[in-house]
Structure 1
């Protein structure tokens, strides 16, 4: 089984979102990504809003700026990746 690194800069860093998406709290480490700027996106899906506690979510947009965006890198296995993309999971 393969492992995958997943970078998160937003709501996936919240334990309650991790439990909803993956069924457990994830292990992660601090990291950052460059070449992007933070922006905001308004979500209208009531399930997402209820899980994250907010209708406004951060998004990354490409930029020439090399300033780092702080986040967390999580390690997931094949089954967790598959389960997170399955509707109703």
Structure 2
């Protein structure tokens, strides 16, 4: 039985590892809204497709790296200390819509 559970976990791991653990809107409201609701002019506003377009063109890996390490005025981890890379990706996609 133990081997069966381990095998099932290994098979299901790729399906769960790429999914955000947190809801993008909740992460935004808790950690991103202070800057991305328009209070910081250089931070692209949520839903501003024109502002997000050149950023998205850099690729998601670059954007997640910017959030993780900090970029310009954005602090490291974007003030979401419990976010994973998948969480960042999900919130970026949500903000850019």
Work out whether the TM-score is over 0.5: no
Larger-gyration structure (1/2): 2
Q: Give the strand-richer structure, 1 or 2.
A: 1
Which structure has more RCO (C-alpha within 8 Å, separation ≥ 6)? 1
Q: What range describes the TM-score normalised by the shorter chain of this pair?
A: under 0.3
TM-score, normalisation: structure 2: 0.23
